[in-house]
Amino acid sequence: MAEEKLVGVVTHYFGHISVGILKLTAGELKIGDKVHFKGHSTDFEQTIASMQVDHKDVAAAKKGEEFGTKVDQKVREDDEVFLVA
């Protein structure tokens, strides 16, 4: 199994546009990184295809930052976000 590192949590989900707001608690994430969303009823992996901070496209986000990203499935507040190595 691939190694996973907890890097953040979901703080919000906009269902009508399938966008999750993630707060990074460690490390950094960039476009192209593979992440694993894991929660009470959430468990899926996807590659980060887009990231936005304050409605502006960014290529990466660092610890302490919040950003929005398109998600393939529904995510929920407090779902954990793992970087898949």
- pLDDT tens per residue, range 20-60: 999 999 999 999 999 999 999 999 999 999 999 999 999 99
Query: What is the model's pLDDT at position 26?
Result: 98
SS3 of the chain = CCCEEEEEEEEEEECCCCEEEEEECCCEEECCCEEEEECCCCEEEEECCCCEECCEECCEEECCCEEEEECCCCCCCCCEEEEEC
pLDDT at 2: 80
Given this model, what pLDDT does residue 66 score? 97
Q: What percent of the chain has pLDDT over 90?
A: 96
CATH number of the structural domain 4-84: 2.40.30.10
Query: Measured in whole angstroms, how far is the alpha carbon of residue 27 from the centre of its chain?
Result: 13
C-alpha 4/C-alpha 18 separation (Å) is 24
- Residue 12 in this model has a pLDDT that exceeds 90: yes
* pTM of the predicted model over 0.85: yes
Percent of the chain at pLDDT > 70 equals 99
